Structure 1
Amino acid sequence: MKIKVNKINSANAEIEAEISKETINSKLEKIAKELTKTASVQGFRKGKVPVAVVKKQYGERLIQDAESEALRDVLNRGLDELEVAMSALIGEPNISKFNKSDDKIEATVKVAMRPQINLENYIEMVEEFDKPVITDKEVDERIEKIADSQAKFVDLKRKRAAKDGDSVTIDFEGSIDGELFEGGAAKEFALVLGSGQFIPGFEDQIIGMKIGEEKVVKVTFPENYGSDKLAGKDAEFKVTLHNIQEKEKVEIDDAFAEKLLAGQDDKSLENLKAQVKAQLENEAIGKLYNDELKPALLETFVANINFDLPQFVVDQEIDVALNKKAGTMSEDEIKELREDAAKLEALRESFREEAERSVKATFIIDALATAENIKVDENEVMQIVYYEAMQMGQDPKEAYDKYKEAGYLPAIQMSMVEDKVLSQILNSKMKEV
Structure 2
Amino acid sequence: MKIEETTNEGLRRAYAVTIPAKDIDAAIEAEVKKIAPQVRMPGFRPGKVPSNLVKKMHGEAIHGQVVNEQIQGAVDSLMRDKKLRPAMQPRVEFGDGYEQGKDAKLTVDLEVLPEIETPSLDGLKLERLMVPVADSEVDEAVNNIASQQKSWKDAPKTKKAADGDQLIIDFVGSIDGVEFEGGKAEETPLVIGAGRFIPGFEEQLAGAKAGDDKTITVTFPADYPAKELAGKDAQFAIHVHKVQVEDETKVDEDFAKSLGLESMEQLRGLLKGQLEQELGGLTRTAMKRQLLDTLASGHDFAVPQGMVDAEFEQIWAQLQQEAANDADPKAALKEIEAEKDDYRAIAERRVRLGLLLSEIGQANGVQVTQAEMSMLIQQAAQQYRPEDRERFNELIRTNDMAAAQLRAPLYEDKVVDFLFDKADITDREVTREELQAAIEAEETPAPAPAKKKAPAKKAAKEEAPAEAKPAKKPAAKKEAAPAEDKPAAKKAPAKKAAADDKPAAKKAPAKKAAAKK
Query: Normalised by the size of structure 2, how large is the TM-score?
Result: 0.47
Query: 5 Å matches for 1:411-430?
Result: 414=405, 418=409
Equivalent AA in structure 2 for residue 4 of structure 1: E
Deviations 1:30-64 (A, max 9, x none): 65267457734767888888766665565445644
Equivalent AA in structure 2 for residue 39 of structure 1: A
| CA RMSD, 1 decimal | 6.7
Equivalent AA in structure 2 for residue 17 of structure 1: V
Query: 5 Å matches for 1:33-52?
Result: 35-36=32-33, 39-40=36-37
1:382 corresponds to which of 374, 378, 385: 378
**In 2, distance between residues paired with 1:158 and 1:399?**
53
**In 1, distance between residues paired with 2:105 and 2:412?**
46
Q: CA deviation at 1:121?
A: 10
Q: What secondary structure, in the 3-state scheme, does the structure 2 residue paired with 1:242 have?
A: strand
2:272 corresponds to which of 277, 282, 304: 277
Q: Judge conservation of contact 2:173–2:183 (CA < 8 Å) in 1.
A: yes
Q: Judge conservation of contact 1:118–1:305 (CA < 8 Å) in 2.
A: no
Q: Is residue 14 of structure 1 aligned with residue 9 of structure 2? A: no
The aligned counterpart of 1:97 is: 95
Residues 1:421 and 1:240: Cα distance change in structure 2 (over 3 Å): farther
**In 1, distance between residues paired with 2:53 and 2:380?**
60
**In 2, distance between residues paired with 1:312 and 1:105?**
33
1:28 corresponds to which of 25, 33, 42: 25
Equivalent AA in structure 1 for residue 387 of structure 2: D
Q: Judge conservation of contact 1:167–1:245 (CA < 8 Å) in 2.
A: yes
**In 1, distance between residues paired with 2:146 and 2:92?**
64
The aligned counterpart of 1:308 is: 304
**In 2, distance between residues paired with 1:193 and 1:285?**
42
**In 1, distance between residues paired with 2:408 and 2:415?**
11
Residues 1:432 and 1:408: Cα distance change in structure 2 (over 3 Å): farther
The aligned counterpart of 1:71 is: 71
Q: Judge conservation of contact 2:360–2:415 (CA < 8 Å) in 1.
A: no
Deviations 1:322-362 (A, max 9, x none): xxx9xxxxxxxxxxxxxxxxxxxxxxxxx9x9999889968
Q: What secondary structure, in the 3-state scheme, does the structure 1 residue paired with 2:36 have?
A: coil
Q: CA deviation at 1:190?
A: 1.9
Q: Which has the higher helix share?
A: 1
Equivalent AA in structure 1 for residue 251 of structure 2: I
Q: Is residue 139 of structure 1 aligned with residue 125 of structure 2? A: no
Query: 5 Å matches for 1:15-414?
Result: 15-19=15-19, 23-25=20-22, 27-29=24-26, 31-32=28-29, 35-36=32-33, 39-40=36-37, 59-61=59-61, 63-64=63-64, 67-68=67-68, 70-71=70-71, 74-76=74-76, 78-79=78-79, 82-84=82-84, 90-91=88-89, 94-100=92-98, 104-111=103-110, 136-147=135-146, 155=154, 160-162=159-161, 166-170=165-169, 188=186, 189-193=188-192, 195-198=194-197, 209-213=208-212, 241-245=240-244, 251-254=250-253, 256-257=255-256, 262=261, 269-282=264-277, 307-310=303-306, 314=310, 368=357, 377-383=373-379, 386=382, 399-402=385-388, 405=391, 414=405
Q: CA deviation at 1:28?
A: 1.5
Q: Judge conservation of contact 1:4–1:15 (CA < 8 Å) in 2.
A: yes
**In 1, distance between residues paired with 2:173 and 2:251?**
42
Residues 1:402 and 1:310: Cα distance change in structure 2 (over 3 Å): same
Query: Normalised by the size of structure 1, how large is the TM-score?
Result: 0.53
Paired residues, what number? 371
Gaps (5+ residues) in structure 1? 176-181, 326-350, 389-397
Equivalent AA in structure 2 for residue 95 of structure 1: E
Equivalent AA in structure 1 for residue 141 of structure 2: R
Residues 1:68 and 1:143: Cα distance change in structure 2 (over 3 Å): closer
Q: What secondary structure, in the 3-state scheme, does the structure 2 residue paired with 1:100 have?
A: coil
Q: Judge conservation of contact 2:303–2:352 (CA < 8 Å) in 1.
A: no
Residues 1:251 and 1:4: Cα distance change in structure 2 (over 3 Å): same
Residues 1:191 and 1:270: Cα distance change in structure 2 (over 3 Å): same
**In 2, distance between residues paired with 1:47 and 1:205?**
86
Q: CA deviation at 1:115?
A: 6.7
Q: CA deviation at 1:95?
A: 2.8
Q: CA deviation at 1:308?
A: 0.4
Q: What secondary structure, in the 3-state scheme, does the structure 2 residue paired with 1:99 have?
A: coil
Q: CA deviation at 1:184?
A: 12
Equivalent AA in structure 1 for residue 274 of structure 2: Q
**In 2, distance between residues paired with 1:422 and 1:183?**
56
Q: What secondary structure, in the 3-state scheme, does the structure 1 residue paired with 2:167 have?
A: strand
Structure of larger gyration radius: 1
**In 1, distance between residues paired with 2:36 and 2:263?**
83
Equivalent AA in structure 2 for residue 307 of structure 1: V
Q: Judge conservation of contact 1:169–1:243 (CA < 8 Å) in 2.
A: yes
Q: What secondary structure, in the 3-state scheme, does the structure 1 residue paired with 2:385 have?
A: helix
Q: Judge conservation of contact 2:92–2:108 (CA < 8 Å) in 1.
A: yes
Q: CA deviation at 1:112?
A: 5.7
Question: Higher relative contact order at CA 8 Å, sep ≥6: structure 1 or structure 2?
Answer: 2
Q: CA deviation at 1:16?
A: 0.7
**In 1, distance between residues paired with 2:53 and 2:183?**
85
Gaps (5+ residues) in structure 2? 175-179, 322-339, 397-401, 431-517
Deviations 1:245-301 (A, max 9, x none): 456766534565467575xxxx653443232133245457779999xx99xx99x98
